[in-house]
Amino acid sequence: MYFNNEGANEVTYDAIVVGSGISGGWAAKELCEKGLKTLVLERGKDVKHGDYPTATMEDWEFPNWGKITPEEAKKYPVQSRTSYIMHAAILPWFIEDAMQPYTEVKPFDWMRGYHVGGKSLLWGRHSYRWSDLDFEANAKDGIAVDWPIRYKDVSKWYDYVESFAGISGKNEGLSQLPDGKFLPEMPLNCVEADFREKLSKNMKGRVVTPGRVAHLTAPLTGSTRGTCQYRNRCMRGCPFGAYFSSNASTLPAAYATGNLTMRPYSVAHSIIYDKESGKAKGVRIIDAQTKETKEYFAKIIFLNAGTLNSTLIMMNSPSDRFPNGFGNDSGELGHNLMDHHFRVGGDANVDGFTDKYYKGRKPAGFYMPRFRNIDAASKQKDFIRGYGYQGSASREGWWRAIAEAGAGGEWKDKWQGPGQWSIGMLAFGECLPYHENQISLNTGKMDPYGLPTLSIDCEWKENELAMRKDMVSSAGEMLAAAGYKDVTTYATGGNPGLGIHEMGTARMGRDPKTSVLNEWNQVHACKNVFVTDGACMTSAACVNPSLTYMAITARAAHHAVEELNKQNL
Amino acid sequence: MERREAIKYTAFFMGATLSASTIAALIEGCKVDTSETWVPSHFTKEEADFVNELSETILPKTTTPGAKDAMVDRFLDTVRPLRYTAEENEKFKTGINTLMEQAKKDLGKDFVREAPEKRLEWVNTIDKNSYDAIHANPDMKNEERPFYLSLKEQILGGYFSSETVAKNFFAFDPIPGSYDPCMPYEKVGRAWAL
C-alpha cells in the first residue's frame, strides 16, 4: 500500500482516469460499470449536466451583446484563431492562453477547453466509423507503422458506443464509410437533397448523405436524455442533453454506479512508476487551486488528457527504467503528430426553390464520404489517402441587404423574406504521420503549475498540399456538375491544430521498437497504463476521429478489466 | 449584386474575414437601455440624434418596426466602445461629423431639422454615389470606401439583430423542437430571425 498524509483509503483506487472529455468519460463509465472504484482527475472546474449558463440566452440578453472587447480578446491570442469561439456564449469554455503557454517552432493552433467534459461539450459531433481502408493504409502504403488492429476488431465496439451515444445517420452501404447503428437521420433540406440527386446522376461515386452526428433524433432506449430541439446552440452546452457529451451521457452513467470519484482542479503532473513491480502505481497531480502536489494510486491508469497533454504527462515521467519519457523505448513518443487539414472548399448559388423553406436550425448538414484512392479506378497520381466534405445549403438572411443600394420603407421591407438558396462545402483531408512532426518538452520554460511547456513542431507536407489542390478543384467541379451558379472555390490555408483533431504522438503498433502502445492501447513496456485518446492514433484517416476514440476506449477498458480479473495487471 | 461582392461587403461590416461562423455571428442582437431618460455616452447628443434620424430614414417605420423602434442609436452608442479600439471609434465619429457637415451644406440646414421626404432624397443620393463608387472600383481598399457605407452597415446590423426586429419583423422561434427539411415558404411567410 502507498501512504501519504490523507491515508491510503482516500488516495487509493482501482483505476485512475486522467481527463473527462470524450475518451475519459467513456473510460470512467466502462470501468465504473465493471465495478472498479475509479478516480477521474480533471484539470478544470466541475460542470454538471445542465450547468450551461449561456445555453438558453438570446443574443440580445448578453451583457455587451456577447461581444468580446479588444481588451478581453488579448487573453486569447491562440484560442481566438478559431474565430467562432469569440462570443460570450462560448468563449468561457476555452482557456486563457497564459494558463498553458507553448512554443510554436512552426505555427500550431492548440485549442483547449479545461473543465469536466472537456471538448465533448464543444465538439462538432460528426461521428464516422473508420474502415479497413484506414486501418490498412499505412501497411499498404509502406509508411509509418501498421495499425495493430483492423475493422473487425472494433466494429462491435462501434456498435456498442453508437447505441449508447446516440448517432443519427443514414446507412449507405459504402465500404469506405461503414454503416452503423443509427437513429433516424437529420434529413437533407430541399437543396441538399437536390445536390444528392444531381450528383448521383452526374458524378458516380459522389454520395451526399446526411451528416452522421451524435444527436438524438428520437428517444434513445434506456436513456433519459432529450431529443434535439433544433436550436443549433450546441457549443453552449445542451440543457436537453440532446447531443453526446461526457456531462450528459457517460459521466451520469459512471456516477450511477456509485464507483466514480471526480476530482476537478487536478492537473496531472506525471505517472509514478514502481521499479520493483515494473508497473505504474499512480499519478502525481498539482492541485490547480492550491498548487499543492498530491499523489493518487491505482492498479490501472487510463490517460485521456487530450492528445498533446497525455503525451506531455508521459514525457514528464522519466524514471531509471524510462529515462526518455514513460514507455518511450521506441523513441516515438511525441512524434507523428497529425491533424486534419481543411479551410478548402466551394460555394455556389442555387436557382429556384424560392417557394421552399425549412423549419428548425439543423445542427448538421451533409457529408460526402471519401471518393479518392478508394479503389484502382479512383487512384490519384499526386497524393495518397483522401478527404471528405461537410456542407450545407440554406437561404440567405438579411445580411444580403448590406450589398444593395437603397433606403426607405419599401427597401427595408423587402428584406423580411429569405434570400436565394446557396450551398457550401468544406473539405477535411487526411494528414500523414511524419516522424518529424513532433512535440517535445521545454524543460526550461514552465507553465503556471510548474509543468514543463511543450514545443510543437508540425507542418503540412507535400502530400497534404497536393491533396488540397484536388480538394479545391473537386468542390468546384461538383457544384458545377449539379448545375449551380456563381461557383466560387477557396483555399484559405491554416495551421495544423485548427482542425482540433490532433492525433498521434504515442502511436499504437505491433512492435515495441517502433510504437508506444500495443493493440489494446497498453504501453508496451508497462501494461497497466492505457492511452486511448487521440495520442494513440497510428494514422489520421479523413473522417472525424471522436467516435473511434469512444470505440477504442470502451474496447481497451473491457480488456483492462479482463486482464485485471486474470491478475495479469 | 454578386454574392461574392455581398460577402466582401459583409466582411467589411464585420471588419473580419467572413466564414460561415461569422455569418452566424452577424445575427447577434442587442438589448438596449429603453428608459426615457437615456442619454448617449459614447456619442455626443448631436451625433446620436443624427445617427437616430439617419437610421430611421434608411429603415423607417412602416407596418413593421423602424430603426427608432429598434433603438439602433442606443445599440451603436453602447456597442461601438466595446467592439472597437479608441482609434477606430475616433475615425468613426469623425466620419459621422463629416457626414453631418455635408448634409448641412447640401440641405442648407441640419439633417435632423429637415423634413422626412427631403432627408430620404438626400440619403438616396449619398447612398447611390457610395455604391457607384465601390462598383466602379471593386478592388477598393476598406479604408478608401465611402464612410457612409460603413455607417449604413452598422445601422443595418443594429436593426436586423435587435430583439424588436427578431420578434416583430422576422419569424421568431427560439426552440423549434422539430425539423422540417422542405416546407412551403408560405407556411412561414418571413425569414427566420435565428
Does B84 touch chain A if contact means CB atoms closer than 8 Å?
Answer: yes
Best probe of the A interface among B13, B28, B56, B83, by most A CBs < 10 A, is: B28
Check whether B19 has a pLDDT greater than 60: no
- Please tell me the predicted confidence (pLDDT) of residue A83: 82
- State residue B175's pLDDT score: 94
> How buried is A459 (Cβ within 10 angstroms: 0-12 exposed, 13-18 middle, 19+ buried)?
middle
Distance between CA A362 and CA A495 in Å, rounded? 29
Q: B59: alpha, beta or left, given left = phi > 0 and alpha = psi -120 to 50?
A: beta
What value of ipTM does the predicted structure carry? 0.92
pLDDT in tens, B94-152: 999 999 999 999 999 999 999 999 999 999 999 999 999 999 998 888 888 999 999 99
Q: Which residues of A touch B88 (CB under 8 A)?
A: none
Q: What is the model's pLDDT at position A443?
A: 85
Residue B26 has pLDDT above 50, yes or no: no
Measure in Å the smallest separation between the Cα of A354 and chain B Cα atoms: 8
Number of neighbours of residue B162 by Cβ within 10 angstroms: 27
Q: Are B11 and A73 in contact (CB under 8 A)?
A: no
How much of chain A exceeds pLDDT 70, in percent?
A: 98
Q: Does residue A10 carry a pLDDT above 70?
A: yes
The DSSP symbol for B188 reads T
Has residue A160 got a pLDDT over 90? yes
Contacts of A395 in chain B (CB under 8 A): 191
* Out of B10, B60, B130, closest to residue A409 by CB: B60
Residues of A in contact with B178 (CB under 8 A): 230, 359-360
Chain A CB contacts of B27 below 8 Å: 59, 397
| Residue B5, pLDDT score | 40
Q: What is the pLDDT of residue B32?
A: 59
Q: What residues of chain A lie within 8 A of the CB of B11, using their CB?
A: none
Kindly state the average pLDDT of the residues A342-368.
97
Chain segment A391-447, per-residue pLDDT in tens: 999 999 999 999 999 999 999 999 999 999 999 999 999 999 999 999 999 989 999
Instruction: Compute the distance between CA of residue A227 and CA of residue A337 in angstroms, rounded to an integer.
Output: 36
Query: Using 50, 70 and 90 to split pLDDT, how confident is the model at B10?
Result: very low
Kindly state whether B190 is in contact with chain A, defined as any CB-CB distance less than 8 angstroms: yes
Contact A408 B190 (CB under 8 A): no
Please report the DSSP string for A396-416 in residue order: --GGGGGGS---SHHHHHTTS
Per residue in A474-520, pLDDT (tens digit) is 999 999 999 999 999 999 989 999 999 999 999 999 999 999 999 99
- Name the residue of chain A whose CA is nearest to B6's CA: A403
Q: Which residues of B touch A189 (CB under 8 A)?
A: 181-182
Please answer whether residues A338 and A329 qualify as being in contact, where contact means their C-beta atoms are separated by less than 8 angstroms. no
CB contact under 8 A, A407 and B79: no
Least confident of A30-44, A546-560, B28-42: B28-42
- The grid cell for A289 is 487551486
DSSP codes joined into one string, A119-165: GGGTS--B-----HHHHTHHHHHT-S---S--HHHHHHHHHHHHHHH
Q: Return the residue matching grid coordinates 487573453.
A: A75
Please identify which residue in the block is written with the cell numbers 470501468. A31
- Give percent above pLDDT 90 in chain A: 94
Q: Does B85 touch chain A (CB under 8 A)?
A: yes
Quick check: A360 and B180 CB within 8 A?
Answer: yes
pLDDT score of A66: 83
- Smallest CA–CA separation between A58 and chain B, in Å? 8
**B59 contacts A422? CB cut-off 8 A:** no
Partner-chain contact A64 B79, CB within 8 Å: yes
**B-chain residue closest to A242, CA distance:** B177
Tell me: pLDDT of A464 over 80.
yes
Domains of chain B by residue range: 3-172+180-187
User: Domain residues of chain A, as ranges?
Assistant: 13-168+245-337+433-453+502-569, 171-211+341-429+460-495
Band of residue B17 on the pLDDT scale cut at 50, 70, 90: very low
Write down the pLDDT at residue A390. 97
DSSP assignment letter at A497: T
Q: Considering only CB atoms, which chain B residues are within 8 Å of A359?
A: 173, 176, 178-180, 183, 187-188
Q: Which residues pair with A341 in a beta bridge?
A: A429
What pLDDT digit, counting tens, does each position of A301-349 carry? 999 999 999 999 999 999 999 999 999 999 999 999 999 999 999 999 9
3-state secondary structure A274-292: ECCCCEEEEEEEEECCCCC
Q: Which of A57, A60, A233, A361 to mutate to test the interface with B (most CBs of B within 10 A)?
A: A60
Phi-psi region of A486 (alpha: psi -120 to 50; beta: other; left: phi over 0): left
List all residues of chain A from 440 to 479 with a beta carbon under 8 Å from chain B.
none
User: In angstroms, rounded to a whole number, what is the distance separating the alpha carbons of residues A271 and A279?
Assistant: 10
B22: pLDDT strictly greater than 80: no
The pLDDT of residue A64 is 75
Using a CB-CB distance cutoff of 8 angstroms, which residues of chain A are in contact with residue B60?
A: 408-409, 412
**pLDDT over 70 at A150, yes or no:** yes
Q: Hey, is the C-beta of A255 within 8 angstroms of any chain B C-beta?
A: no
pLDDT in tens, A195-237: 999 999 999 999 999 999 999 999 999 999 999 999 999 999 9
Task: Say whether pLDDT at B13 is over 60.
Answer: no
CB contact under 8 A, B64 and A413: yes
Mean pLDDT over A110-125 rounds to 98
A87 touches B: beta carbon within 8 Å: yes
Contact between chains at B181 and A362 (C-beta distance less than 8 A): yes
Interface contact flag, A358 B4, Cβ < 8 Å: no
Please give the pLDDT value at position A508. Answer: 98
Residue B7: pLDDT above 60? no
**Bridge-partner residues for A561, per DSSP?**
none
* Per-residue cell: A259: 464507483
Nearest CA in chain A to B87: A70
> What would the pLDDT profile of A269-281 be if each residue is shown by its tens digit?
999 999 999 999 9
Tell me which chain A residues have a C-beta less than 8 angstroms from the C-beta of B78. 64-65
Query: What is the model's pTM?
Result: 0.93
- Beta-carbon contacts of A363 under 8 Å, excluding residues fewer than 6 positions away, are A125, A186, A213, A215, A228, A230, A232, A234, A243
Interface test mutation site (partner B, options A186, A359, A395, A420, max chain B beta carbons within 10 A): A359
The pLDDT assigned to B25 comes to 37
Determine the pLDDT at residue A84: 84
Domain A13-168+245-337+433-453+502-569, what fold? FAD/NAD(P)-binding domain (3.50.50)
User: Are the CB atoms for A489 and A476 separated by under 8 Å?
Assistant: yes
Task: Say what the pLDDT of residue A6 is.
Answer: 54
Q: How far is residue B68 CA from its own chain's centroid?
A: 12
Residues in A touching B61 (Cβ below 8 Å): 409
* Residue of A54, A57, A59, A69 to mutate for B, most B C-beta atoms under 10 A: A59
In which band, very low, low, confident or very high, does the pLDDT at B9 lie, cut at 50, 70 and 90?
very low
Q: What is the pLDDT of residue A69?
A: 84
User: Is-contact A495 A485, C-beta < 8 A?
Assistant: no
At what angle are helices B147-160 and B45-58 packed, to 10 degrees? Answer: 80
